[in-house]
Amino acid sequence: MGYKEQIQQDRIPRHVAIIMDGNGRWAKRQGMARMFGHRQGVETVHHITEAAAELGISYMTLYAFSTENWNRPKDEVDALMALLVDTIAKETPTLMKNNIRLQTIGDLSRLPQVTRDNFMACIEETTKNTGLTLVIALSYSARWELIRATQKIAAAVKEGEMLIEDINEEVIGGYLTTSNMPDPDLLIRTSGELRISNFLLWQLAYSELYFTDCLWPEFTPEEFYRAIVDYQHRERRFGKTSEQVR
Ligand code: FPP
């Protein structure tokens, strides 16, 4: 029996976050340039997004470009930005066909104007779609996000809009870029690296973590279903005892 058939429909994760890693290594193994891996990675994004929408997942957040990725060689950064523009142009019909709404999180002010404009246009076009919300993390890092939230909260206190005693989990969550989404139930990272790498540090507090050696370009819907099945066999306790949550 395939993994898809093992998925329990009543326990679909609401929010899946993915660190898509291993494009460069995959390309190198084929004797190709790194961009060949990123282009193949976009194919994986297409297939996994369709699979997530079909399963009825509400939110999927993809780590496409981190704050730290700006330090990569300029050629690769430029090529990645161009690839993002091409992908958005090419994939907007797929999003419409599958009733998918696009959103982004991250410091978009650092993106080239054309990249930002393309994302904004796609967000606008898909805003009324009611199926999966696909969230692309672009120029994102959790520490950037937490600094920004702290600055905003400090400013609100200074302006007398909030008391220090009022600051709690909900308030902090409300100042994060993910304020309109549930926390991820499941985090997937490909390529065998066992790290969080500055992704959604606050939001992943109680997420189930799933690591696979599969490189992102070779991560298939079947591998995705396998991760969902694995998640469904976990017991989520949120700090309580096993007896309390049963
Ligand atoms: C990690 O592989 C991948 C990235 C840093 C970029 C991922 C971007 C895409 C797949 C395009 C995304 C497109 C959309 C529309 C979301 P790596 O370069 O770190 O690989 P390595 O660790 O093997 O060097």
Q: Which two tokens stand for residue 174?
A: 């409300």
For residue 25, which atom of ligand 1 is closest to its CA?
23
Domains held by the chain: number: 1
Look at strands 101-105 and 208-211 and give their pairing: unpaired
137, 148 contact by CB (below 8 A): no
Q: Which H or E element spans position 221?
A: helix 221-232
**46-82 CB burial, b ≥16 within 10 A, e <16:** eebbbbbbebebbbbbbbbbbbebeebeeeeeebbbe
The answer to whether residue 210 sits within a structural domain is yes
pLDDT value at residue 246: 82
Q: Per-residue b/e over 163-180, b at no fewer than 16 CB within 10 Å? A: eeeebeeeeeeebbbbee
**Alpha carbons 102 and 222: distance in angstroms, whole number:** 24
Can you tell me the distance from the alpha carbon of 58 to that of 14, in angstroms, rounded to the nearest whole number?
A: 5
Domain of residue 77, residue span: 13-231
Task: Indicate the average pLDDT of the chain.
Answer: 97
Judge whether 240 lies within some domain: no
* Residue 42, pLDDT above cutoff 90: yes
Is the pLDDT score of 14 beyond 90? yes
236 pLDDT band (50/70/90 cuts)?
A: confident
Mutation pick for ligand 1 pocket among 18, 20, 111 (CB with most ligand atoms within 8 Å) = 20
CATH (domain of 22): 3.40.1180.10
Q: Which tokens go with 93?
A: 């019909």
Percent pLDDT > 90 in the chain is 96
Q: What region, left, alpha or beta, does residue 208 occupy, with left being phi > 0 and alpha being psi -120 to 50 degrees?
A: beta
Segment 99-114 shows an average pLDDT of 97
How far apart are alpha carbons 201 and 204 in whole angstroms? 6
Give tens-digit pLDDT for 47-104. Answer: 999 999 999 999 999 999 999 999 999 999 999 999 999 999 999 999 999 999 999 9
Domain assignment of residue 8, yes or no: no
Q: Which two tokens stand for residue 20?
A: 């898509």
- Determine the pLDDT at residue 237: 86
Q: Can you give the pLDDT at residue 132? A: 98
What are the pLDDT digits (tens) for 191-202? 999 999 999 999
C-alpha angle with apex 4: 236 to 239, nearest 5 degrees?
5
pLDDT digits (tens, 9 = 90+) for 151-200: 999 999 999 999 999 999 999 999 999 999 999 999 999 999 999 999 99
Pocket test for ligand 1, best of 32, 38, 133 (most atoms within 8 A of CB): 38
Q: Cβ(46) to ligand 1 under 6 A?
A: no
Rounded Cα distance between 221 and 231, Å, is 15
Mean pLDDT of 107-134: 97
Phi/psi region, residue 21 (left: phi>0; alpha: psi -120 to 50; beta: rest), is beta
Cα 128 from Cα 138, distance rounded (Å): 22
